[in-house]
Structure 1
Amino acid sequence: MTDFRDVLIDHLVDERAGWSMGCFGAVAEFHQDRGEYLEADAPTMFVRATSRGAIRLNAEAVGQIVPVAYETLGADPHRWSHGVALCLPQKDSAMNGRKVLTELGRDEEAVRSADRAAILFDLGLGLPQCDFCIRTADPDLLSLLRANAGRSLFEPGNPSSAAVLKAHPHRVALTRIGRIEVFQKIGGPDTGGASPPGPHTHLLPHLLKSRRTHSADTPIPKYHLPLGYLHPANPVTDGLGRDRAFDIDDHARFQALFERFARPDLPILRKAVLDGLARRAEPGQFPLQSDRFSRATVRITLRQQYRLAERFGGGSYLELVSRWRNVLDGAADMAATDEEAPARTGPGANDVHSSPPLAAAG
């Protein structure tokens, strides 16, 4: 997988790419701004840090990563999302699964040396492939957390969540492939109810209750788990989730990843759609797909071709793609999408906290 190491390095230095680690309902994200000052910059060692957050991939684990490129439908009919899930075999993915607040000691593996004297606490969410933690040197917060160690954050009357929300400690997502650290404030009352741009975390109680390891929209191979995600630049939305003019270069770059790392049948299906359009076949001649990922690939391919035709003056081709979309990209299948999937968050997404006990770590 030497070539995939190069993919990771190339995207680590691409300020438009984003990264996330965690589990369904508990995610830490790392994003950079163009020209942002770097406090750590060692891409060949898979390390990067700014004043707002940090990422480090475990160099020894990178060669074991099973990359899975995927695309997901956007709720808006002209959008789609994409990414590369960073997977390991299930037997190699397990973390500690602690279910109570637990002091772990000094975070000697922190990306920045200045953070290594601070104390790490596992929040005890019991996640299979991620230890979701906070890190602090605040004496008042340390005292309170130590007094409540061994209790579940879900326990009624536990003051830990409210104290964390007020103190804004660092959040640290630990996995077998690496870590993401978030230094910014927790999205909540002190940030106007929204996540700050750049590195941030999401802790969503209603998703945690599902006990799912990942979004149903991502075709993760059997007996594997996604531990993190690479989010390359999207050709139709910017880093804040706003519409942008279709960027054919960003589109082509991800299509190259999709060809190499997607579920093997999906690039073949994409080619079949393109061949059908090239032959000017009618949509009724194209076989309907029974698999949700196959249906999504057909629909996304048509959205992409529509944007390409719009951008480059498709004329009759645009009309042909529109006919295909009317038949194969209807709204009826939108229920198959996971709109709150952690792999589809981004720097412009808001934290959503539906109950106070877990709001503290968002």
Structure 2
Amino acid sequence: MIRDGQTNRDILAAYLDDPASRWSLGGFGAGAEFGHIPGEPVVALEPFVRVTPRGALRLELSDDLVPVAYETGLRGGWSHAVALCRPEATALVRGADGIVACGPDAGAARLEDRDAPLFDLGLDLPQGWAALRTRDPHLVPRLQSACGGVAFAPGSPVPGLLADRRVDVVMMTPLGRIEVFAGIPPAAGGPRAYIAQEVMRLRRTHAATAPIPPGLVPCAHLHPPHSLREADGRPIPFDRHRHDAFQALLARWGDSDAVALKARLRAGDALPRDADRRVRALARVVAAQATWVSAST
């Protein structure tokens, strides 16, 4: 729970070492997730840098960071998240046109990776960059020869390298980076990267269901512990402490009008006649939570 006097940085830092939480960075259609499972070694290299045997997270929390907490109604339940946003002026970036060799990855979380060549895939994400990293003497020339080309064009080595997990995937935004290390099969609760070309073509900064205020762009997300499931999706008995913890985040970082309306709906007020899509979605969240919250009181 939030304590008196805690800053935004204090609150976010408390989730870094929580195996029930997850982090994600990237854009709409391409991104990466970071997390760890209980008992997995986690090394804190800096206050906001964490490294496991499977990947790494580096957060760079800027002064213009704006956290936005929200809940989304789903069929039979709900999800929640905290979008870490920056104003459009500092969040939107210009990506490379085609694959580009960036030289050594000086920003790598681990010291031993900072001399490994990094290749920007040129995906032109509005708020980020996707890159591959390797020092493999057989793979570096293949990526060098692909520079200037389109990452997923016929004949490109990129799809095969991603499918075989032969290279590190590095996802970067103006709020940091997530690194997914090569050679380790994806597993529940661990780092993973994803690229969905058909979604990227929509050129959106976020999903339509995410209530991001105008003028802000989400560059990272915190996914705090959910009251009905673990981070890997396994169901658990309703956890009132987890529920209350996110309601505290919602009260601090959520839309004040939505928080007030949620309280009225929980108290029994009827849905407004002119309710728009977002208000109806909020009502679904209230209905989904009502049974669990009442049973735990």
| TM bucket, shorter chain | over 0.9
Matches within 5 A, 1:287-306: 287-288=272-273, 290-306=275-291
Q: CA deviation at 1:157?
A: 2.8
- Which has more radius of gyration? 1
CA contact (8 A) 2:161 2:167 kept: no
Aligned length: 292
Q: How many angstroms apart in 2 are the aligned matches of 1:294 and 1:212?
A: 22
Counterparts of 1:166 and 1:118, CA distance in 2: 19
* TM-superposition CA deviations, 1:168-197 (whole Å, max 9, x none): 2111111111111111548xxxx5xxx422
Change (3 A) 1:251 1:64: same
Q: 1:148 corresponds to which residue? A: 146
Higher normalized strand content (fraction of residues): 2
Contact 1:40 1:49 in 2 (8 A): yes
Give 1:267 deviation, angstroms: 0.4
Q: Within 5 Å, give how 1:275-286 maps onto structure 2.
A: 275-276=267-268, 285-286=270-271
CA contact under 8 A between 2:133 and 2:168: conserved in structure 1? Answer: yes
Equivalent position to 1:196, from 184, 187, 190: 187
What is the correspondence of 1:274-353 to structure 2 with a 5 Å cutoff?
274-276=266-268, 285-288=270-273, 290-311=275-296
CA drift at 1:33: 1.1
Question: Partner letter of residue 267 of structure 1?
Answer: V
Q: Which amino acid aligns with 1:67?
A: P
Q: How far has the Cα of 1:244 moved from its partner?
A: 1.3
Between the aligned partners of 1:17 and 1:158, the Cα distance in structure 2 is: 35
Structure 2 counterpart of 1:177, which letter? L
Offset of 1:222 from its aligned partner?
A: 0.6
SS in 2 for 1:293: helix
SS in 1 for 2:267: helix
The answer to whether the 8 Å contact 2:262/2:282 transfers is: yes
Matched residue, 2:235: 243
User: How many Å apart are 1:41 and its aligned residue?
Assistant: 4.4
**Dislocated runs of 4+, deviation >4 Å:** none
Q: CA, structure 1 residues 265+184, in 2 after alignment: closer, same or farther (shift >3 Å)?
A: farther
Matched, 1:111 2:113: no
Residues 224 and 48 of structure 1: CA distance in aligned 2, closer, same or farther (over 3 Å): same
CA RMSD of aligned residues (A): 1.9
User: Residue 135 and residue 293 in structure 1: after superposition, are their counterparts in 2 closer, same or farther (change >3 A)?
Assistant: same
- Aligned counterparts, 1:82-161, within 5 A: 82-161=80-159
TM-score (norm 2): 0.92
Alignment of structure 1 residues 245-264 onto 2, 5 Å: 245-264=237-256
**Cα distance in 2, alignment partners of residues 144 and 286 from structure 1:** 59
Query: 1:127-159, CA deviations, whole angstroms, 9 ceiling, x for partnerless residues?
Result: 110011111111111010101100012333323
Cα distance between partner residues in 2 of 1:41 and 1:294: 43
Q: 1:166 to 1:36 in 2, by over 3 A?
A: closer
Amino acid at match of 1:306: T
The answer to whether the 8 Å contact 2:26/2:220 transfers is: yes
Does structure 2 retain, via aligned residues, the 8 Å contact 1:175–1:227?
yes
Tell me, which stretches of 5 or more residues in structure 1 are unaligned?
A: 313-362
Q: Which amino acid aligns with 1:196?
A: A
Query: Structure 1 residue 167: deviation in Å?
Result: 5.0
SS of 1:11 mapped into structure 2: coil
Aligned-pair identity in percent equals 38
- Give me the whole-angstrom Cα distance separating, in 2, the residues matched to 1:185 and 1:273: 49
> AA paired with 2:114?
R
Whether 2:224 is the aligned partner of 1:222: answer no
CA, structure 1 residues 159+46, in 2 after alignment: closer, same or farther (shift >3 Å)? closer
User: Would you say 1:26 and 2:30 are equivalent positions?
Assistant: yes
Contact 2:92/2:217 (8 A) holds in 1: no
